[in-house]
Amino acid sequence: MTLFGILLFGLILVGGLAVIMPLYSATFLLDMPMDCEMGKTCFIQNYVDLDASNKVLDYRCGPLSYDGHKGTDIRLVNLAQMREGVKVLAATDGKVLGIRDGMPDRNAKHFPRESIKDKECGNGVLIEHATGMHIQYCHMMLSSIAVKAGDRVKSGENLGKVGLSGMTEFPHLHLEIRNAKGETIDPYVGAISQAACGKSTRNLWKPNIRKAMDYVATGVLQHGFTDRVPTVDAVRMGKHALDSIKPDAGALVFWAEMFGIRTGDVVTSLVTDASGEVIVHYSQTLDRDKAVYFQMAGKRRQEALWKTGTYTAHLTVRRKTDKTNWLEIDQFYKVVVTGE
């Protein structure tokens, strides 16, 4: 059986399971579903949407989701990382009910939506746990699926690789969980029909990874220095992150790609040269929420060469959380200008 027979982006359960399988079991806990390091080589971009209206609420009452989203999206940093190959791992023991393969890895925004109608999950795997829980793994890489229908898998076993197939604009794993009744399960709160944001009573991640899977409201996905004005597409292909810059380079530019930027956030990039002199100071106040935000700040070289030595970029994100408190991300990044 393939995913074509059992997936319609959501999950169509095998008849009869709902009446014979329990809703929850203490044995149903989740391992890390990707071979990556949270907060460094992978990040949670979106959580399950707990709001039944057209508004959006993640389990911490924040905006890290989109309307009707039923899974947890764990994203890679960029396409270069995807091409290197990042394994998708079974989060639990179980039986493979079906797979889909054969869909290309491509950014969905560049193609008609009709081309992936009823295949929004892309390449993927559907696994049933002994408790009746079902886990769907979506957007996997073309020809990477390492299991077949009927296989028994153990937690941590390789299922394939993270890809860009189906309805997605960035490489990630969409992990979707449903119980035997067909209810969506948020791994941070349980069944969403019984959950409210800010009141997490059930965490399904195994205790040893709960800290790694903790909520991060805002963060830096990737950053770099380059010697020319970068494009976002090039950055996402893994370009424009130089280890060093030559003194005669035409420009010196710092860039950063962030997630979870919110209305009113003040994002500032300040670059100093090898002597500590400020050569660039750029700041922007966001007028709307940004799931992903890209900022660059740089300077074209005039007649003189760049001073050799270490240049530093200071990136800050400041957010007013109430009348007296601020949330602040404060990061420093360095690059060397060298004549060698």
Pairwise CA distance, residues 48 & 329, whole Å? 25
**327: Cα within 13 Å, side-chain hemisphere:** 15
Domain map (residue ranges) of the chain: 3-209, 219-337
Judge whether 240 and 230 are in contact, CB under 8 Å.
Answer: yes
Q: Please, which residues have CB within 8 angstroms of residue 72's CB and are 6 or more apart in sequence?
A: 44, 46, 47, 48, 174, 175, 176, 186, 187
Q: How confident is the model at residue 327 (pLDDT cuts 50, 70, 90)?
A: confident
DSSP alpha helix (H) spans, the chain: 17-20, 79-84, 232-236
pTM: 0.88
184-186 and 219-226 as β-strands: parallel, antiparallel, unpaired? unpaired
- Cα R_g (the chain), whole angstroms: 22
C-alpha–C-alpha distance, residues 263 and 282, integer Å: 18
Per-residue pLDDT at 276 exceeds 50: yes
The CATH topology of domain 219-337 is Immunoglobulin-like (2.60.40)
Q: Rounded to 5 degrees, what are φ and ψ at 4?
A: -60, -30
Residue 27: predicted pLDDT: 77
Query: What tens digit of pLDDT does each residue of 222-274 get?
Result: 999 999 999 999 999 999 999 999 999 999 999 999 999 999 999 999 999 99
Question: How many CB atoms within 10 Å of residue 322?
Answer: 6
The SS3 of residue 271 is strand
Q: What CATH number was assigned to the domain covering residues 3-209?
A: 2.70.70.10
Q: Which two tokens stand for residue 333?
A: 């990044």
Residues 277-309: pLDDT tens digits? 999 999 999 999 999 999 999 999 998 999 999
Task: Report residue 192's pLDDT band, with 50, 70 and 90 as the boundaries.
Answer: confident
Q: Residue 118 is encoded by which pair of tokens?
A: 């009823």
Q: How far is CA 7 from the centre of its chain?
A: 23
What is the model's pLDDT at position 200?
67
d(CA 50, CA 39): 24
| Interior angle at CA 16, CA 13 and CA 17, nearest 5 | 60
Distance in angstroms (rounded) separating the CA atoms of residues 315 and 220: 10
Strand order through the sheet with 326-337: 244-245, 326-337, 309-320, 266-272, 278-285
**Pair of tokens at residue 335:** 């690059």
The alpha carbon of residue 221 and the mean position of all alpha carbons in its chain are separated, in whole angstroms, by: 9
pLDDT digits (tens, 9 = 90+) for 125-163: 999 999 999 999 999 999 999 999 999 999 999 999 999
Q: Which DSSP helix (H) or strand (E) runs through 330?
A: strand 326-337
